[in-house]
Amino acid sequence: MGNSDNAIYSRMPGWPFITKCPCCDNDEECKWHHAKDDGLQTIDREGNIHCSECSLNVFLMDLRYDCGKHNDEYRDPNFKRICYAISQLATHKTLPEDVCENIIGKMSRRKFGF
């Protein structure tokens, strides 16, 4: 991350949202940007995504994603892939482990109703 990105992230809630694509098998890390205004995105401890340029505050499962490999097609996240992407944030120490567990638990409760 560049110094200007670090300055932006430092004034936003949560942690930088940099993951593998939650929709396809693209294994490259993506630094997610809001398509509406190109703002950088962060993820908070509840799994909500925030934008540096607007008031976006949306649960990560309610967004659509395009990692650049979808031919400009925004896709709904695949449950297994997004769980894997979040778990990798803990593995790489980007997010605290308890935050990742909380987010994956919240996604599971929404998907499976428990």
Q: Label each residue of 13-72 as H, E or C.
A: CCEECEECCCCCCCCCCEECECCCCCCEEEECCCCEEEECCCCCEEEHHHCCECCCCCCC
Query: Whole-angstrom Cα distance, residue 103 to residue 14?
Result: 13
Work out the percent of the chain whose per-residue pLDDT is above 90. Answer: 78
pLDDT tens per residue, range 63-83: 999 999 999 899 999 999 999
Residues 70, 28, 44, 13, CA torsion sign:
negative
Q: Where are the domains of the chain?
A: 3-112
The more confident residue out of 33 and 7 is 33
Query: Whole-angstrom Cα distance, residue 23 to residue 61?
Result: 11
pLDDT of residue 27: 87
- Prediction pTM value: 0.89
Question: Is the confidence at residue 29, as pLDDT, over 60?
Answer: yes
